[in-house]
Amino acid sequence: MKVIEMPAEGDAVKAKLICAGVLISGCSSSQSALNPAGAGAELIARLFWWMAGGATVIWLVMIALSIYALHLNPVAHHRQKSALFIIGGGAIAPTIILTILLIYGLNLLPALLARPPAGTLQIEVEGYQWWWRVRYPTQSGKPVELANEIRLPRGEPVEFILTSNDVVHSFWIPSLGGKVDMIPGRTTRLTLHPTKTGHFRGACAEYCGASHAYMNFTVDVVEKEEFDEWLAQQSTDRITPQTESVERGEALFLQTGCGACHTIRGTEADGKIGPDLTHIGSRSSLGADMFPTNRGNLQKWIAHVSALKPGVKMPAFRALKDDEYQTLSNYLEQLK
pLDDT in tens, the chain (336 residues): 444 444 455 554 455 445 444 444 455 567 888 889 999 999 999 999 999 998 998 888 888 878 877 776 677 767 777 777 778 877 888 899 889 999 999 999 898 888 899 889 999 999 999 999 999 988 777 889 999 999 999 999 999 999 999 999 999 999 999 999 999 999 999 999 999 999 999 999 999 999 999 999 999 999 999 999 999 999 999 888 888 989 999 999 999 889 999 999 999 999 999 999 999 999 999 999 999 999 999 999 998 888 899 888 888 777 788 889 999 999 999 998
Measured distance CA(301)–CA(36) in Å, rounded? 34
DSSP label at residue 153? E
pTM for the structure as a whole: 0.81
Q: Please report the DSSP string for 177-229 in residue order.
A: --EEEE-TT--EEEEE-B-S-EEEEEEE-S--STTGGG-EEEEEEE-HHHHHH
Q: What is the dihedral of CA 86, 92, 98, 103, to 10 degrees?
A: 180
Q: Collect all residues with Cβ–Cβ distance below 8 Å to 324 and sequence separation of at least 6.
A: 252
Q: Which residues are within 8 A (CB) of 125 and not within 5 positions of it... i.e. 6 or more apart?
A: 132, 133, 134, 135, 150, 160, 161, 162, 163, 171, 182
